[in-house]
Every structure is written in structure tokens, then in C-alpha cells.
Structure 1
């Protein structure tokens, strides 16, 4: 091919200007308000909002696809992003499709429920509709090394669940109550978005509790009504919108993440936390 032919082939054809657009937004990583220099990435509202705005801003927009690969994380960030998706979808009056990759669990499934339809691979891990928090306690360690803990507060509950103080029963009860409230909100969101599509099909005689925090493979998630179909993003979009142009909008990474830089101590803590989040699902 001559140089002229190569240059000519790169010029958009006039007909392409009339092609419909399906915008794809990649939501990959742990959901957290704190950006991270880790290669696996994070999801938070401030980073995702610009990508969502670009995705829904196409003139010839036919649909928006959410490509989700997340073990979950911060519930508030999940809620903010999901609500923004619904606002933009209502404004443009276009369908939203969600596609679970390795995992769409906990906050990742919260994001998926922002879509009108959810698809998963047969091996995807889907669900985990529950609430979890974890931490460590170090009071015995301080005693062993003769370290004196000095903690001063105004307000009797200001230092709840302090990791360097003995755990109190009333603090655990308070945390469990908070978890219960968050769980109710999560369940309410799933029921609002999935409606009468939820529920075991009963073919195996099981009485599955969808909101126990359990996670299922894509095939079982389909039977339970947590997803609407099995298939990959490429397969479904090619079938639904065969002539559409695919436009990918990825959230912008923080400058340090793009440069592969970050504070060593902070990066180490993030690495441990994110590793634990993914390892809950064997990833």
C-alpha cells in the first residue's frame, strides 16, 4: 500500500458521521475515596464522573455500557457513581448495560445495578450483597513492649473501635447497627433496580437468600435473577448494535498513578488493603 493510500484510509468516511455510538465506561478496581498509584487501579466518584459525562455526551449515542471488574469497597462512592449513571441515563434517555468481568461483587454489584440490564460471563463472580469492615487490635502488643497509649477525647464516643484500646461490647453493637442500616440500603437499591426479576427459580428446590452476602458464578446468578444474561461485552454489543461505533471512556488516573509514583508507605498500605479485597474472591 502506498503512502497516499495509507493516509487516505485513515480519513473518516462520510458515512461514519451518521453511525450510532455505544459508549463504554471501564470501572475496574477497588471502590475507594482515596486514589492509588497501584496499577490495578481504583474507582471513585471524582475520577469516574468525567468519564461518565464524556460517555453520555455523544451526539449519536445509542447506549452506554459499564465494563465492571470490582470486588467492592466504599458504599458511599458506590452510591454516588450509581446515582450519577441514572441521572445521565434519564437525561439522555438511553439504555445502560452492565458487564461483569472477573467479579462484580458488593460495591461492584451496586454499580452494576445502575444498569437496565446486567450481563456476566459464566465464570464471573456476582453478588456479595452485604456489608463488611475489618481491622486489627494492638493493646496486647503495646503492653508487651511497655508502650503507653495516650488518647484524649471530648465526647465519650469519639474514639470508638480504637485499635490500640481494648474492644468494647457497646462499640461492637454500634458497628453492627451501622452495618445493618447500610445493608438495608443496599438491599433496597437492588430490589428497586431488579424488581420482580429477583428470586431463585426453584428448579433445584433451594430457598436461596440473595442478601446473605454470598457470591455466585454467572450461571447461578442468572438463575437467581441477579443478572439478565450470559455473554461478554463484545458479543452482546455486536448482536444488539452491529453497525454502531464503540467509544471507550476510561476514568483518568491521578498524576502520580500515571507516572507510577507514590509514597512508599501509603502505597504499601493500599497494596495490602486492595490485595485483601481481591483475595476474598480468589483473585
Structure 2
């Protein structure tokens, strides 16, 4: 029989949230809706010594990146619990946005960080359709309803509108990094042109705080007896039984394209 002695101090606990994959709305990838219960649970477990984020993400949706990071920060401030981010292969674009939710960012020597920028990408099929004698018929109520139609030639007006959307998103991303990293950012360096850097260089530039791995760093900070408690998302019923194969295949294709930008 095991007897619990209330006067014995309990070992410090650090919930560990894995943020793996592309960031996207809905039921695929990382998103605020799916992660909310996990994040809330991490901060609700008594009084954790800290919360650790293990990040491996090539980015994705700016809105979801912001929502997830904001939720982490709100709970960290409310509970007065520090957050540590540990980057594995990649924390780029929205993945780095997630990392900035932490008070300290730790990397591997080979981790890739940065890509502080915004991208809009697509395909155009206008010439292909013309070559095959296919006519595109579009009727709209509202001048902008067919904006950026991939089956029509790209217009200067469309390009201007896209750039007008991307610029404020980029400024929001930059503001997030500056607010969270503050004076740790290296002066005189252009950190916001979507470049990427390896771990050690990212530390030198102030985008991260040091080279360290999860278990040894948590033991160093919170003692040898610290307990790491992994938390993860629950799969929905349809996904568990493989009934969303079509959607999963599309999501996998899109995610592979994001990872490929970093040679992974």
C-alpha cells in the first residue's frame, strides 16, 4: 500500500504542449479551437512550475497563430506561470509567432527560425483555359466578388489589393516580435525581411535565448525531480476511424509544401 504524506513537498510539474505541424483553421493542423482545451488544461493543473511548448511548425494562418499565442500569454499572465518554448526542426513564420508566446525560447544548433514575413500564393490557369477553348463565365453582385480569380488573367488591381492586405499583416507580425523580444533583438540587423537562421545565429540575433533541450533545461531550472507531463490534442471520432481521408490527404499535401521550403 502506498501512503501519501501531505507534509512531503511535491516535485515541481511542467506540462508540455507539443505544437507540431502547419497552422490552419478548422479540423486540420494547429488551430486555436483544437488547442484551447490542451492549453487551458496545462495552466489549470494546480500551480505548475512552468509550461513548456515543443514547437515544430513551418507556419500557416496568421490569425490562428495570433489566437494561439494570445491564449498562451493570457493564461501565463493570469496564473503567473512562465512559459518556455523549445524549437525542434523549425519555428518559422507562424511557427515563430507561436514561439514568441514564451518568456524564453530555446533552440537546437540545427533548428531553423525566422521567416518573419507574410506570403500569398496561388496558381493561374487563364492561358491554359484559353489554349483549350474553355470560356470562364462569372456573374457577381459586388465589384470585388471575383477578386483574384485564378481562371482569369491577373490584373494590376488584384496585385495591389493583395499587397494592401499583406502589408498590415506583416506589421502585426513585426509588432508581436518586438513586443515579446524587446531589447533582446540585435540592433542594426534586418530581422523582418523573412530570412531564416540556424539556432546559434538566431540566439546571436536575439530571436532566441539559448541552445538547450527540454529535459535537461527543465531540470537545470526546476530541479532534478521535475515532472514533465505531456499534453496533446484528442483526435475527433471521424479522424480516429479514418473517415476524413479526402480532407486529410489535401491537408497533408498543403503541409508538405510548407515543410519543403525548409528542406524537410
TM-score range, shorter chain: over 0.9
Distance 2:133 2:124 in 1: 16
- Secondary structure at 2:146's aligned position in 1? coil
Match in the other structure for 1:267: 248
2-structure distance, mates of 1:189, 1:154: 37
CA contact (8 A) 1:71 1:107 kept: yes
- Higher relative contact order, chain-length normalized (CA < 8 Å, sep 6+): 1
What's the RMSD between the two structures over aligned residues?
1.7
User: Which of residues 26, 30, 33 is equivalent to 2:22?
Assistant: 30
TM-score normalised over the length of structure 1: 0.88
**For residues 269 and 103 of structure 1, what CA distance do their matches in structure 2 show?**
22
State the distance in 2 between where 1:12 and 1:170 align.
Answer: 73
What is the CA deviation profile of residues 181-216 of structure 1, one whole-angstrom value per residue up to 9, with x for unaligned ones?
10000000000000000015xxxxxx5310010010
Contact kept? 1:25, 1:67, Cα under 8 Å: yes
Aligned length: 262
Unaligned runs of 5+ in 2: none
Q: Does 1:212 align with 2:199?
A: no
Equivalent residue of 1:31, what SS? coil
Residues 28 and 145 (structure 1 numbering): CA distance in 2 closer, same or farther, change over 3 Å? same
Q: Distance in 2 between matches of 1:152 and 1:123?
A: 51
Q: CA–CA distance in 2 between the matches of 1:17 and 1:133?
A: 53
Alignment-derived partner of residue 87 in structure 1: 74
Q: Is the 8 A contact 1:81 1:111 kept in 2?
A: yes
> Is 1:21 matched up with 2:13?
yes
Q: Distance in 1 between matches of 2:53 and 2:37?
A: 14
What residue in structure 2 maps to residue 190 of structure 1? Answer: 177
Q: Is the 8 A contact 1:142 1:148 kept in 2?
A: yes
Secondary structure in 2 aligned to 1:67? strand
Residue 221 (1) aligns with residue 213 (2): no
Structure 2 counterpart of 1:165: 152
How far apart are residue 17 of structure 1 and its match? Answer: 7.2
Q: Report 1:43-58 matches (<5 A).
A: 43-58=30-45
Moved more, 213-222 or 156-165: 156-165
